């Protein structure tokens, strides 16, 4: 491929306005980098009197995206408006997950820090749009500068009362506990595992954050959640190719796996590979 140097440019300098940008996103929502979203409505009227730039949804998940788009530098009113519209929509449709999305040409450190703090309690995604001029062509690059906070899945936070190994031995099938021990053995090949026994799950970590949550069962299988990071979809495909049941977790960086002892024995290398990726991402 031939290298050519592109020159950064602001959209207004290139003769484009916010309406032009909205038309572009409306015709192809994939350009913003959040997957194959579908536009429910553009310029959606709000009860507060304003209009939401875009309401989108993910056909594969019960998730709606309340998106505000602006040219120039992100400001206070834009942040407030985005959160206000997100709150209105989530109250109207509580059966969906809702995510507030801010798209701007320039997100300064000051406002990045502010929305990062809000991100702990409000699911905000910030996307910076970079425009580049190459000869007589205009290129747009959308970069996700703030993603959802890793707050965990609901199942992992419901019950946090501590317990011990005897509790899980008593409530689980021995074969399921053998599988749990095999998973811990996979971690042990990387680093010394630390186990946290709770009444809701058994959490596993090494020297970083927890990255795996196990749920031994009364049947001869184990169900566990693993933080696999940005490679979640590729690893889901690998497990599904082997006939192993797995699903997306609520948190976009995690996956849920249901496995029998036979499936684990036949795919040890794949499980070890996934555990290594998850353990590395916990630091």
Provide the pLDDT confidence category of residue 244 given band limits of 50, 70 and 90: very high
Reply yes or no on whether the pLDDT at 269 is more than 80. yes
Q: 36 φ, ψ to 5°?
A: -90, 70
Of 3.30.830.10, 3.40.1350.10, 3.40.50.300, 3.30.390.10, the CATH number of 7-146 is 3.40.1350.10
3-state secondary structure of 87: helix
Identify the residue with better confidence: 159 or 99.
Answer: 99
Average pLDDT over residues 17-24: 93
**Structure confidence at residue 149 (pLDDT):** 57
pLDDT digits (tens, 9 = 90+) for 60-102: 677 899 999 999 888 888 899 999 999 999 999 988 889 999 9
**Structure confidence at residue 64 (pLDDT):** 93
Least Cα distance to 203 among 214, 192, 193 occurs for: 214
CA 23, CA 71: separation in Å to the nearest integer? Answer: 14
Is there a contact between 243 and 236 (Cβ–Cβ < 8 Å)? no
Least Cα distance to 173 among 215, 136, 140 occurs for: 215
**Structure confidence at residue 221 (pLDDT):** 87
Where does 106-157 show beta strands of DSSP type E?
124-134, 137-146
- What does 272-283 look like in DSSP terms, one character per residue? HHHHHHHHHHT-
Least Cα distance to 63 among 105, 96, 112 occurs for: 96
State the alpha helices, DSSP H only, in 128-247. Answer: 154-158, 165-171, 174-188, 232-241
Task: Please give the share of the chain, as a percent, with pLDDT higher than 70.
Answer: 95
3-state secondary structure of 109: helix
Q: 53 φ, ψ to 5°?
A: -55, -50
Q: What is the token pair recorded at 128?
A: 């910076």
**Structure confidence at residue 160 (pLDDT):** 57
3-state secondary structure of 38: strand
**Structure confidence at residue 116 (pLDDT):** 82
CA 86, CA 148: separation in Å to the nearest integer? Answer: 14
Q: How many residues does the chain have?
A: 283
CA 80, CA 78: separation in Å to the nearest integer? Answer: 6
Provide the pLDDT confidence category of residue 158 given band limits of 50, 70 and 90: very low
**What's 106's DSSP letter?**
B
Reply yes or no on whether the pLDDT at 175 is more than 50. yes
Is there a contact between 181 and 250 (Cβ–Cβ < 8 Å)? no
**Structure confidence at residue 249 (pLDDT):** 76
Is there a contact between 196 and 212 (Cβ–Cβ < 8 Å)? no
Average pLDDT over residues 225-254: 88
Class of domain 154-281: alpha beta
Best mean pLDDT range from 18-32, 139-153, 247-261: 18-32
Reply yes or no on whether the pLDDT at 156 is more than 60. no
pLDDT digits (tens, 9 = 90+) for 108-155: 888 888 888 887 788 999 999 999 999 889 999 999 888 865 544 444
**Structure confidence at residue 71 (pLDDT):** 92
* Domain spans in the chain, listed from the N-terminal domain onward: 7-146, 154-281
**Structure confidence at residue 257 (pLDDT):** 93
**Structure confidence at residue 200 (pLDDT):** 75
**Structure confidence at residue 159 (pLDDT):** 46
Reply yes or no on whether the pLDDT at 197 is more than 80. yes
**Structure confidence at residue 220 (pLDDT):** 86
């Amino acid at each position: 491929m031939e290298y050519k140097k592109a020159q950064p440019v602001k959209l207004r300098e290139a003769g484009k306005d916010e309406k032009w940008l909205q038309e572009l996103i409306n015709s192809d929502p994939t350009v913003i980098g959040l997957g194959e979203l579908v536009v429910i409505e553009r310029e959606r009227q709000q009860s507060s009197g304003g209009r939401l730039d875009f309401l989108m949804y993910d056909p594969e998940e019960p998730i709606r995206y309340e998106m505000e788009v602006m040219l120039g530098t992100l400001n206070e009113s834009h942040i407030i408006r985005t959160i206000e519209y997100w709150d209105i929509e989530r109250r109207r449709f509580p059966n969906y997950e809702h995510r507030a999305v801010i798209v701007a040409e320039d997100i300064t450190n000051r406002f990045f820090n502010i929305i990062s703090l809000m991100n702990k309690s409000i699911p905000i995604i910030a996307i910076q749009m970079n425009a580049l001029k190459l000869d007589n062509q205009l290129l747009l690059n959308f970069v996700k500068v703030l993603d959802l906070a890793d707050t965990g899945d609901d199942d992992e936070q419901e019950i946090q009362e501590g317990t011990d190994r005897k509790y899980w031995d008593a409530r689980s099938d021995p074969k399921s506990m053998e599988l749990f021990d095999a998973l811990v053995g996979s971690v042990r090949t990387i680093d010394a595992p630390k186990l946290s026994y709770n009444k809701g799950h058994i959490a596993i970590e090494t020297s970083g954050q927890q990255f795996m949550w196990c749920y031994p069962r009364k049947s001869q299988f184990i169900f566990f959640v693993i933080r696999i990071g940005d490679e979640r979809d590729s690893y889901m495909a690998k497990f599904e190719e082997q006939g192993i049941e797995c699903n997306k977790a609520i948190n976009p960086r995690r996956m849920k796996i249901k496995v029998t002892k036979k499936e684990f024995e036949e795919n040890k290398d794949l499980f070890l590979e996934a555990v290594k990726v998850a353990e590395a991402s916990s630091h």
